[in-house]
Structure 1
Amino acid sequence: MRAALIGVLLVGAAAAMAWWWNAGATDAPLDVGTGGEGEAPDSDEAGVELALRGLDDGDVVTAEDLEEGLDVTVVGEPAERVQHAAVRRNGARQHPFDEDGEVPLDLDRMPEGEQVIEVEVPETEDAPAAEASWSFTLDTRPPPLRLEDPDLAVGDEPVGIAGSTDPDAEVEVGGEPVEVDEDGEFATELEVPQDGAATVHELTVTATSEAGNTATAEAEAAWVPSRSDVERIRGVHVSPHGWASDELREGVLTLAEEGRINTVVLSLKDEGGHVGYDTDLELANEIGANLAVYDLDDTVAELHERGIRVVGRIVAFADPTWAPHAWENGDRDVVVQRPEGVMHTGSYDGFTSFAHEDVRQYQIDLAVEAARAGVDDILWDYIRRPDGPLDEYHFGGLDEDTTPSESIVDFLEEADEAIAPYGTSHGASVYGIAATRPHEIAQDIPAMSEHLDYVAPMVYYSHWGPGEFDVSDPNAEPGLITERSLEEFVRLAEEQGDSHVVAWLQDFQLGGPHGESEVRAQLEAAERAGVDEWMMWNASVRYTRSAYDPLEED
């Protein structure tokens, strides 16, 4: 806002009326003396000049004016003449004129709305009374601005941005004006630049009130090349080398073509710490983790073309590729250590610390890279600490006030925020014992569920010990142990969050008979437990075809 030239007003006592000052009316002060009624005053007669400096009469003061330090001051000259003058704002008396004949107005402490400033200068033996009045409006409140979450743009679809504000406000999305209807609603569609991989574009949405106050919000518009419309997961796991094998890949695709499965759980990073596809991540290439046996973009496109959902499995913290590399290169805090200061190996040949910032970021970078390629789900595995007494380990990056379970929940929250713009579902594979002994592996199911769409308990019947869930021989009763364990996981998943259960089931032989009847027993038990989504595990990617009936359409 421009600052007005000082406008002044002098009112003679004999005039017996109020004169309103208009700063835009003249570039020179108006000097009114004590001449006779109806007569022009004599310029030599004594007078007083009153002015409002900084504003024009009738102006509107906005938030931007305040931010720029707008100075508004009532001025009276000569200063000694106004020392006993009364200054009021909306009828309330203000500070008197200072020795310089000024009364600064504190705009920051004024309420919103119209402000009327009045000055009354009493008459003296040598000078008449004078009065002046000005008004302005304080309007600093931005208009309300609410944005709906933008829909994910898939393929050649535009992204939709919608929201609401004051009906009289003007709205721009990404610098382009958007019409606002009589209810304050607005909506527009924008083409999201497509550069061969999924991208997230931040768009600034602004709403400007009639007074000029502005509210801003950021909308993240994301695009992915393709997306599956499969709602319920019924799938099988495929390792990187399994997908690279023509024979094994065709076997899995045949199951899908026959309608027996609708999902492929593809290992993006496996138990060996190897990234199966040709990743662009610098760290993966530096530590020799880039296996590059399949092309992720092409794989996702092919599976989506066939109507198959793609779950990207990432083995997180067990990493026998990075852990030894970090240890040998002096990055030892990345690695889980024993109390005596040696690297923990155990049966995994190396575990990285779930609490270390670099470890977390590596996993999240892999997840985002996969989400950008259009992978439908990110499914974590080995998202835990090594089992065993807690005092046997040192976890780099873990502070004294945080438990391993809490740290892993924090990681899930970070990961969930990172992949959310891509509309990617979020799951975590958890050990069966997490239902009854969660802190042995730092998997607090209710707390984890708050940041997951689903938990995927590995309830393989061959992995339970005698007596678990009151089943004397779980390996001989696959249906019973599956049903009882899943019932508990369903309860835990719903306890604090809004997640559900997708069961990891067993299609491999270990320690007892295994075939079609054992697979069917697990599937039927899952249904009885209220779980109708499942993923089958077989490390060699060879599945019992006859055990899977064609699926009913969702």
Structure 2
Amino acid sequence: MRRYSVLVALLLSACAGPATLIAGEAIRSPEPPDVLLQIQVIAGDDASPVRAAVVAGTETVTTDSTGVASVVWPENPLDLQLSAAGFLPQSVTVDELPEDSTMTVQMEPVVLHGVVLANDGRALPDATISTGSTDTTSAVDGSFTLTRAVPGELSVSRPAWLDTTVAWDGVSDEIEIVLEPRVIRGVRINSTTAGNLDRWQDLLDVVNTTGANAIVFDAKSEDGNVPYNTSVATAHEIGAVQVLYDVEARLADMEAAGIYKIIRVVTFQDSPMAKARPELAVWDKDNNDIWRNHQGFAWVDPTDRNSWDYPIALAVEACEMGFDEVQFDYVRFPSDGVISSMQFDGTYDQQNRVATIAAFLAEARRNIAPLGCAVSADIFAAVIETQTDEGIGQMPEALASSVDVISPMIYPTHYGSVWRGIENPGQNPLAILGGALSAGVPRLSDIGFAHYRPWLEFNPYDAPTVLAEIALAEEYNLGWLLWDGKGITSYDPSYLPGGS
């Protein structure tokens, strides 16, 4: 049986026959694999990998997240065309295949140089410029550089100024951007009224139906009290918290109505702090006690930097809660009382007074501006018409680079019996206002970046007088804020533009 099995196997093999071979045809070997060129694409500014499109003849590939792609190497030189968003196009000719079949191509970023200016030509620092893929901030001189810039719309924003968009074609490597100031027309509400739902709703209705667009709240008032439940521990420690309104509810109402939200921080007049921490207080050297002004209010010492932390903390919290602007009031040295008996840690001369107030506001803005809030300061109107600080440390030129907005308090009834040749200033509000604005506005024409927004006196004037005050401020395109020193509880819409 074994012999027959072998025979069958031989017969089957013979039947299969030899492989057919055609004359002139060689036996083919397997096709060799393609030779690949590996390309590493990196950025010229920091050598990071670049996602780029690579065109090699008829082949197009895209680099991966590590910046690497491979293309088939031809027998002749290879032309490569590379493109990537934010980078200049690159052309490379590869004459010979590198020994290790790899090469590196460096792509240079697109660089856009620009400057951000105010509408009056002054440089605007701290503006945010964004292309969507990258952003930067303007420097002190308003200049900026966008690296890896992508053609399209540039978005520009800055607190206290209107946001804008500018088209950039990607051809020019320089651009100038001009911002317009945000014109605010605001009314102040005292904290008691803010806590009364009916009166609050009345005020919302007035703002929504007139030419006003902002409301000013208090974070810390003249008596040093904080009228809402703050999370700043110091306010509770010194017994300053007296809750009068729900700040979060008021913010939500204003946000829903599209109202610009300002909060006012009375800064260095602070009886609770001076009493709790007398080491921070302005000292009465004659009586060896805390110094107080004629109204009985104590002050903390502006020259003691430890007195800065608390008002700045309240301001930061307010910005984080959702206010658009923090306004520092009483951001000065005391102006009434027995001035000769005051004692400060620092020297009490004009140079140091002015430097101290400017430094405080600059420090406040350094903490607040990155959060997206504007910073403003209330100043005595007299200092925009004189060449001294009037003993309080306020001069507009010195503050012009420390805050976004300067609000001179132009209250005719607060002037003496004669001002600049005008008798009975309280009875001549338009002459006082016009003189202040015409003298003050040019002083900021070529310095700093702040713009004016005056406080106008509401009480004791009638509607036509208040409307005339507003119209005069509008001639300067400054906006305005209305103040009633008696603590207004409601606004008659006939006192406001567009009201009846």
Gaps of 5+ in 2: 1-108, 115-125, 138-145, 152-179
Structure 1 vs Structure 2 CA RMSD: 3.3
Aligned CA distance change for structure 1 residues 152 and 295 (closer, same or farther; 3 Å): farther
The match for 2:323 is: 375
Aligned CA distance change for structure 1 residues 150 and 321 (closer, same or farther; 3 Å): same
Q: Distance in 1 between matches of 2:315 and 2:136?
A: 30
Which residue, 476, 489, 496 being the options, matches 2:447?
Answer: 496
**Structure 2 contact 210–493 (Cα < 8 Å) conserved:** no
Structure-to-structure mapping, 1:31-50, within 5 angstroms: none
**Structure 1 contact 354–360 (Cα < 8 Å) conserved:** yes
The match for 2:290 is: 343
SS at match of 1:428: strand
Q: Distance in 1 between matches of 2:335 and 2:325?
A: 27
Aligned CA distance change for structure 1 residues 312 and 163 (closer, same or farther; 3 Å): closer
Q: Distance in 2 between matches of 1:244 and 1:440?
A: 37
Q: Distance in 1 between matches of 2:418 and 2:349?
A: 36
The match for 1:550 is: 498
The match for 1:431 is: 380
Aligned CA distance change for structure 1 residues 150 and 434 (closer, same or farther; 3 Å): closer
Superposed displacement of residue 335, structure 1: 0.4
Q: Distance in 2 between matches of 1:477 and 1:252?
A: 29
Q: Distance in 2 between matches of 1:317 and 1:440?
A: 15
SS at match of 1:387: coil
Aligned CA distance change for structure 1 residues 462 and 547 (closer, same or farther; 3 Å): same
SS at match of 2:323: coil
Do residues 387 (structure 1) and 335 (structure 2) align?
A: yes
The match for 2:367 is: 418
Superposed displacement of residue 161, structure 1: 4.6
Superposed displacement of residue 371, structure 1: 0.9
Which residue, 129, 135, 153 being the options, matches 1:162?
Answer: 135
The match for 1:362 is: 310
SS at match of 2:227: strand
1:162-206 deviations in Å (ceiling 9; x for gaps): 369xxxxxxxxxxxxxxxx9x84489xxxxxxxxxxxxxxxxxxx
**Structure 1 contact 446–494 (Cα < 8 Å) conserved:** no
Which letter maps to 2:190? S
Structure-to-structure mapping, 1:282-321, within 5 angstroms: 282-321=233-272
Structure-to-structure mapping, 1:438-477, within 5 angstroms: 438-477=389-428
Which residue, 450, 469, 477 being the options, matches 1:522?
Answer: 469
Q: Give TM-score, length-normalised by structure 2.
A: 0.61
The match for 2:430 is: 479
SS at match of 1:549: coil
1:279-318 deviations in Å (ceiling 9; x for gaps): 1111100011112322333322220110100011110011
Which letter maps to 2:185? R
Superposed displacement of residue 259, structure 1: 2.8
Q: Distance in 2 between matches of 1:490 and 1:230?
A: 14
SS at match of 1:318: coil
Q: Distance in 1 between matches of 2:348 and 2:366?
A: 23
SS at match of 2:390: helix
**Structure 2 contact 267–328 (Cα < 8 Å) conserved:** yes
Superposed displacement of residue 399, structure 1: 8.9
The match for 1:278 is: 229
Number of aligned residues: 337
Q: Distance in 1 between matches of 2:437 and 2:127?
A: 35
Q: Distance in 2 between matches of 1:243 and 1:443?
A: 30
Q: Distance in 1 between matches of 2:347 and 2:318?
A: 28
Higher normalized contact order (CA 8 Å, seq sep 6+, divided by chain length) = 2
Superposed displacement of residue 339, structure 1: 2.3
1:431-467 deviations in Å (ceiling 9; x for gaps): 1222224232111111011111111011012111232
Superposed displacement of residue 147, structure 1: 12
**Structure 1 contact 450–497 (Cα < 8 Å) conserved:** yes
Superposed displacement of residue 244, structure 1: 0.5
Aligned CA distance change for structure 1 residues 285 and 517 (closer, same or farther; 3 Å): same
Indicate the larger mover: 365-374 or 387-396: 387-396
**Structure 1 contact 355–396 (Cα < 8 Å) conserved:** yes
1:496-531 deviations in Å (ceiling 9; x for gaps): 21211111011112xxxx211221221123234x14
Q: Distance in 2 between matches of 1:371 and 1:501?
A: 21
Q: Distance in 2 between matches of 1:147 and 1:367?
A: 34
**Structure 1 contact 273–318 (Cα < 8 Å) conserved:** yes
The match for 2:202 is: 251
SS at match of 2:375: strand
Q: In percent, how many aligned pairs have the same letter?
A: 25
SS at match of 1:321: helix
**Structure 1 contact 381–428 (Cα < 8 Å) conserved:** yes
Q: Distance in 1 between matches of 2:348 and 2:299?
A: 18
Gaps of 5+ in 1: 1-142, 154-158, 165-180, 188-228, 327-331
Aligned CA distance change for structure 1 residues 397 and 374 (closer, same or farther; 3 Å): farther
The match for 1:232 is: 183
**Structure 1 contact 501–531 (Cα < 8 Å) conserved:** no
